[in-house]
């Protein structure tokens, strides 16, 4: 028999739409969960930064109050370096969270579009 290959049942536009819809439904919870985790880590980073600031301030105060010469400056510098790294990681997480939000928005928008197409019976 001549002609193009016969299309298998379930491989037409409706099947592709159904697969895409399923994939979007699968991705949405993962993206939301990842977004929640990134948000939680960012909150922890802010709390850690505040604790580092408090500890550095306390070390400086102790150093000033000591009668005996105790050089705490290296420790304060280490704390400030750790704080700088925490801020850097927080910025990276903030950028990742923003990308996740955009991805989540795109997934939701595409889901709505595909649902509307399926309900209208139209195919791309």
For residues 118 and 4, give the distance between their C-alpha atoms in angstroms, rounded to a whole number: 27
For the chain, give the percent of residues with pLDDT over 70: 84
pLDDT of 17 above 50: yes
At residue 58, the pLDDT reads 87
Domain ranges of the chain: 12-69, 70-123
Confidence band (pLDDT; 50, 70, 90) for 20?
Answer: confident
Q: Quick one: pLDDT at residue 6? A: 44
Under the banding of pLDDT at 50, 70 and 90, the label for residue 4 is: very low
Instruction: Provide the mean pLDDT of the chain.
Output: 79
DSSP character string of 65-105? H-SS----HHHHHHHHHHHHHHHHHHHHHHHHHHHHHHHHH
3-state helix, strand, coil in the chain (%, to 5): 80, 0, 20
54-87 confidence digits (pLDDT tens): 988 888 888 777 766 667 778 888 888 988 998 8
Q: Which residue has the higher pLDDT, 12 or 86?
A: 86
pLDDT tens digits for range 30-46: 888 888 888 898 899 88
């Amino acid at each position: 028999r001549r002609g193009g290959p016969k299309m298998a049942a379930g491989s037409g536009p409706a099947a592709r739409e159904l697969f895409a819809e399923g994939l979007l439904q699968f991705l949405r919870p993962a993206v939301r969960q990842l977004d929640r985790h990134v948000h939680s880590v960012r909150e922890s980073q802010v709390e850690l930064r505040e604790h580092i600031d408090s500890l550095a301030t306390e070390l400086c105060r102790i150093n000033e109050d000591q009668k005996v010469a105790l050089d705490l400056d290296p420790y304060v510098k280490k704390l400030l370096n750790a704080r700088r790294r925490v801020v850097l990681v927080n910025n990276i997480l903030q950028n990742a969270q923003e990308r996740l939000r955009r991805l989540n928005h795109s997934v939701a928008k595409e889901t709505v579009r595909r649902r509307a197409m399926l309900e209208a019976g139209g195919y791309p």
